């Protein structure tokens, strides 16, 4: 028994070796010798039909090499891959055998892998945008911190001015008191001087009151700046943590994306 005849004998058993639905055909140089249809893979072929030169088995016989062709669901309702190899006896091609294997699961795997890959790429893009936004927030926080520090420095300078005015008001009040004492000593001759001394004392008191109000305002401003700085530090801490988390997420997404790309490659390789 030649090799071609042996393939004819075992053709009905070959389909059972494949996990997917498949059809098997064996041909000589002129016609179909045997055709074993699958459950869904059922080409309009029967034993005795002439060999079609355009078929995968016809082409593999003509070319003397393995031929693989992917066929979409528009032909049989399900996608499949047809593979054919030439059969040689005595160094010459005497026929060929082909297996048409359903690839529905491979197609589903391919679609799932592409969906995963696309979703991960979208997630990575979103993560990168989030990281950029966090960095922008951090930059703005740093600017506000610089402004708060500048306000604090200016407030300190204002406090120095207030202290100076407070000292001047105190000294003016002392001068007014001394002038009042001197006016009393002079009696009627110092009456006009007493009026001036009284006005000086009143002015010093009003200045002292305004200094007190200004000092309270200064304390409120300083406290507000302090709270602002504390809030900015908390924001900076949260942004730093978020940035670190985003970087870790981006690394994980990149790894998952790589897995998705590997799945796509695997699905493509399963096509034959």
> Can you give the CATH number for the domain in which 173 is found?
1.10.287.950
Q: Give the mean pLDDT of 16-28.
A: 85
Residues of the chain above pLDDT 70, percent: 78
The pLDDT score that the predictor gives to residue 191 is 59
Q: Select the more confidently predicted residue: 262 or 67.
A: 67
Residues of the chain above pLDDT 90, percent: 19
Q: Are 142 and 254 contained in the same domain?
A: yes
| Alpha-carbon 134 to chain mean position | 13
Q: Are 161 and 47 contained in the same domain?
A: no
Other CB atoms within a 10 A radius of the CB of residue 272 amount to: 14
pLDDT for 266 beyond 60: yes
pLDDT in tens, 195-235: 666 776 677 777 777 777 777 777 777 777 777 777 777 77
Q: Are 127 and 179 contained in the same domain?
A: yes
Q: Are 97 and 212 contained in the same domain?
A: no
The pLDDT score that the predictor gives to residue 210 is 74
Q: Are 127 and 192 contained in the same domain?
A: yes
Q: Are 98 and 112 contained in the same domain?
A: no
Range of the domain at 202: 108-270
Q: Are 116 and 238 contained in the same domain?
A: yes
> Can you give the CATH number for the domain in which 44 is found?
3.30.450.40
The last residue of one of the domains, among 45, 80, 102, is 102
Q: Are 97 and 115 contained in the same domain?
A: no
> CA-based diameter of the chain, in Å?
155
- Residue 190's pLDDT band, with cuts at 50, 70 and 90, is low
Q: Give 32's strand partners.
A: 27
Q: Which residues contact 128 (CB under 8 A, 6 or more apart)?
A: 250
- Residue 271's pLDDT band, with cuts at 50, 70 and 90, is low
Taking phi over 0 as left and psi of -120 to 50 as alpha, with beta for the rest, 64 belongs to: left
pLDDT in tens, 114-128: 777 777 777 777 767
The pLDDT score that the predictor gives to residue 17 is 79
Q: Which residues contact 142 (CB under 8 A, 6 or more apart)?
A: 236
Paired sense of beta strands 67-71 and 92-102, if any: unpaired
Q: Are 223 and 116 contained in the same domain?
A: yes
Q: Give the mean pLDDT of 131-135.
A: 74
The last residue of one of the domains, among 83, 102, 121, is 102
Number of structural domains, the chain? 2
Nearest to 21 by CA among 40, 35, 44: 40
Q: Give the mean pLDDT of 239-248.
A: 69
Q: Are 90 and 112 contained in the same domain?
A: no
The last residue of one of the domains, among 46, 78, 102, is 102
CA distance 104 to 238: 49
Q: Are 128 and 88 contained in the same domain?
A: no
Q: Give the mean pLDDT of 153-171.
A: 74
Q: Are 62 and 121 contained in the same domain?
A: no
The pLDDT score that the predictor gives to residue 98 is 93
The pLDDT score that the predictor gives to residue 121 is 73
């Amino acid at each position: 028994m030649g090799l071609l005849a042996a393939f004819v004998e075992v053709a009905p058993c070959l389909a059972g070796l494949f996990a997917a639905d498949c059809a098997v055909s064996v041909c000589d140089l002129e016609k179909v010798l045997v055709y074993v249809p699958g459950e869904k893979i059922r080409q309009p072929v029967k034993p005795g039909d002439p060999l079609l030169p355009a078929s995968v088995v016809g082409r593999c016989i003509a070319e003397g090499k393995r031929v693989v062709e992917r066929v979409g669901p528009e032909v049989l309702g399900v996608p499949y891959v047809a593979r054919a190899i030439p059969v040689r006896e005595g160094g010459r091609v005497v026929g060929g055998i082909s297996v048409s294997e359903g690839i529905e699961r491979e197609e589903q795997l391919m679609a799932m892998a592409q969906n995963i890959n696309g979703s991960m790429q979208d997630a990575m893009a979103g993560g990168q945008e989030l990281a950029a936004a966090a960095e922008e927030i951090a930059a703005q926080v740093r600017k506000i911190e610089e402004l708060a520090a500048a306000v604090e420095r200016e407030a300190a300078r204002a406090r120095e001015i207030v202290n100076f005015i407070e000292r001047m008001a105190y000294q003016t009040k002392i001068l007014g008191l001394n002038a009042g004492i001197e006016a009393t000593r002079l009696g009627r001759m110092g009456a006009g001087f007493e009026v001036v001394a009284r006005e000086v004392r009143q002015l010093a008191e009003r200045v002292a009151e305004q200094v007190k109000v200004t000092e309270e305002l200064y304390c409120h401003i300083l406290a507000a700046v302090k709270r602002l700085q504390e809030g900015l530090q908390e924001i900076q801490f949260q942004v730093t943590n978020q940035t670190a988390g985003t970087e870790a997420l981006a690394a994980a997404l990149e790894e998952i994306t790589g897995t998705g790309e590997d799945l796509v490659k695997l699905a493509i390789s399963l096509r034959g």
